[in-house]
Structures are given as C-alpha cells and as structure tokens.
Structure 1
Amino acid sequence: MEEALIAPCGMNCSLCINYQSMKEDLKKKGFRRQYCPGCIPRGENCTHMGDQCELLAKGSVRFCFECKAFPCKRLKALDKRYRTKYHMSMIENLEFIRDNSIDLFLKKEEEKWRCPECGGVICCHNGLCLNCNLDTLRKNKKYRWNEE
C-alpha cells in the first residue's frame, strides 16, 4: 500500500472496488465497473469530501485531522456509513495516522486487509479478494460482506 492512496478523508483507496477494478482490469473479465486510480493520484484532493470542504478543495490540508473542525458533520456521516456497511472507519484511520504515523498506518492496513489465501488486498466494499473470489462476485455483482 502506498501513501498516495490514502485520501484526506481517511479512505484507503487501495481497498476501494473502483480502484481494485482498475488494477485488476475487471472490464476485460466481464464486469462493468467504474475505474478510479485514487483521489490523490487523479488530482482530486478527496472524492468524498472535496466538493463540500473549502480546505480540501484548495488542497490546504493533506488530511482532515489538520482542520480545527475535525471531525466535521460530513465526515461523521461518511464514517458512519463506512463503519456500518464496509467494516472500516475513516475517523479511526485519521486518528491513527495523526497519533502514530502514515508509515505505521500503511503497515497496519497491509496486515488487516491482506487476503489469507493469496496475499492480495481484500476490498472494503464487499469483503472479497478480487484475485481469489472473482467467481463469488460474478454470481452476485452486488455481493457485500458474506451476503449471499
């Protein structure tokens, strides 16, 4: 995992279905998914928050925790959705980075999201490794975290 794939809101873009779809080129495998290289690599400061935050829109902060309003109402709502549906917390990610370091965070994420079978990266949006579990996704394109 790389630092450029950690969005200002705390999203680890390497866990995202759209990033992984691009990386694995799922269109060639019969999936119609939007591709995304990540917020920072594509020149967007933050897909989730940049349109409603002046500091992020201007690139004035690298991470939301640098703002005096952290965590803002919008980030709290986004965090709640991701904790409920996708087994991750953007606020926890940001607090860990702030209190420890981006390097320690990246190491922790590599361990947490590593596929036990192939060593690939598990997708936060569905809980699948797109190397090992592509057939599960093929059977149910809206598959999410052990839901058949």
Structure 2
Amino acid sequence: MAKKMTDEEWRAFVSHGTRTGKLSTVRADGSPHVAPIWFVLDGDEVVFNTGKSSVKGRNLARDGRVALCVDDDQPPYAFVILQGSARISEELEELRHWAGRIGARYMGEERAEEFGARNGVPGELLVRVKIDKVLAQKAVSD
C-alpha cells in the first residue's frame, strides 16, 4: 500500500539525479498542456526556464496555474505532484544564473556555464512556481 512521503522525502525525491518533471499548464481554451521540463528546487519554489514563445511560455504569461509531476517508473514506484502558481521574469542575469544551475543538474557541472549562456538569453523566461500543494506517495506497488 502506498505511503505518504514526508517533506524531507519528497524534496529529496524530486531533486534526485536527473529526474525530469511533467509540467501541466492551462491553454487559452482551458484545456491542459503537458510538457517535460528540467528544473531545480529553490526552497519552496520550483525553478525552470522556457521560451517566451513556447506553448508553456504563452500559457504561463496568461495563466500561472501549474501542476508538476515527478515520478519513478521502477518498482515499488513513487511520485510527487506539486501544484502552485508561477511568476515569470526576463531578467537576464538571474535567468542565466538559474539556467546554469539547471544545466549543471542535468548535464553535469562542467557544462553549467554552457547551458547558462545558451538559455540565459533574450526570448527565454525564468519561471518560479510557488508550491501551494504537495501530493507525494512512495511504495505505490507494495
């Protein structure tokens, strides 16, 4: 039977290795849009970047409500769903910093600067999601 994760457990789970998130945003017609993202946790916020003209970027500029699912697809299975509201920034210094931190997580510290330079540019958005609700389960198949 599934067990609820503690605050410490779900934070470690979503930050483990290179687990990606599946981000759900709200389209103009109210339907959901889901896309995989690279992200990092910063306290009680999820931080990621995306293109301003992407579906995610346009959706977030119009409606900041999001849900993010991070899961482990190996037995005994586990998942975390984070819900919250996003705020976006185009401030280049901050964007470059966080793009580098995200790049380091997924591509290694030696490539952090490369990813910061590539993704910390005009036309990209820095997105910070304040986590309002957490659903975190482990040992789902036990």
Q: Which has the higher contact order (CA 8 A, sep 6+)?
A: 2
TM-score range, shorter chain: under 0.3
**So what's the TM-score if we normalise by structure 2?**
0.26
Structure with more of its chain in helix, by fraction: 1
**So what's the TM-score if we normalise by structure 1?**
0.26
